[in-house]
Amino acid sequence: MAQDGGKGRRVEAQVPTVITVLVFAGREWRATRARLGVDLPLQASPLGPWLPASWPGPGGPVSGVVFHPGPGKIAAGAAAQWALLTWQPQLLVVLGTCGSIHPDRAPLDLLAARRTVVYDFTSAVPAARDRMQQAYRIDLPELPDLGGLAHPVRPAVLATGDGDPSPSQLTQLRKEEGAEAVDWESGAVAWVCRQNGVPCLILRGVSDDATASGAAQQAAYAQAAPQVMDCLWTVWEELLAAGRLAVAR
């Protein structure tokens, strides 16, 4: 049970749904609400607001929840586990932005994670750091067919950390991991889903250059984030309507 919108009314959260969509950052959430309709009543949970949702599928409507736990690895991991226990979804989905660390990735490029890595482990003992990085290197389940979508989506390695990567981390991510973009949550969600045996689909759109200055990064992010989210929701709805996701109603 959870309280509704801070008004004290208790609402039922433990209803099995087919899909839970996680949207982390504030700008991403505002763009999502604009897309879904700001008049939809928010429900509350210990980890953030959520909305019941339904999308057209080839066999009829597919039920779901759109959940906003806020940014960062801690919120992401906690929210993913809470969502799996509360709603028991068949699929956990992440829609959000990312920062490019690859010269060929431009704003509004859309990426689907085929692997996630976590880059912000530090240790005076290199072997310990390497073991942690290996433990949190997650190969995701096979991606759905991404061909012929309204907005092209390419498979990619996404790297997660709680801060922008340092120059040495950038070198490692690009050369050793093959990463193309960074974010704050994907690696945590992928790890939780693997531990629970539940598939996840992580779709991210490039909003900025993660190697740029702070001011330039923020300006680019503010401008691109709403467009990225609109593209991602279009792709998500198209994948579901075309029956490319292995979920039942």
Strands (E) in 106-194, as ranges, are: 110-118, 138-139, 153-160, 179-183
Residue 209 clears pLDDT 60, i.e. is over it: yes
User: Residue 131: helix, strand or coil by DSSP?
Assistant: helix
DSSP 43: B
pLDDT confidence of residue 135: 86
Beta strands at 153-160 and 110-118: parallel, antiparallel or unpaired: parallel
> Rounded distance, CA 64 to CA 233, Å?
14
pLDDT confidence of residue 10: 36
Residue 182 clears pLDDT 90, i.e. is over it: yes
pLDDT confidence of residue 249: 62
pLDDT confidence of residue 248: 66
Residue 103 clears pLDDT 60, i.e. is over it: yes
- Tell if the pTM clears 0.85, that is, is over it: yes
Rounded to the nearest integer, the mean pLDDT of the chain is 90
Residue 8 clears pLDDT 70, i.e. is over it: no
41 neighbors 80 (Cβ within 8 angstroms)? no
pLDDT confidence of residue 11: 40
pLDDT tens, position by position, 106-119: 999 999 999 999 99
User: Considering only CA atoms, which of 88, 84, 75, 112 is closest in space to residue 15?
Assistant: 88
Q: Where are the domains of the chain?
A: 16-241
User: Tokens 């990463």 label which residue?
Assistant: 179
The fold of the 16-241 domain, in CATH, is Rossmann fold (3.40.50)
pLDDT tens, position by position, 216-234: 999 999 999 999 999 999 9
User: Considering only CA atoms, which of 194, 165, 192 is closest in space to residue 177?
Assistant: 165
pLDDT confidence of residue 188: 97
Compute the average pLDDT of residues 201-212. Answer: 94
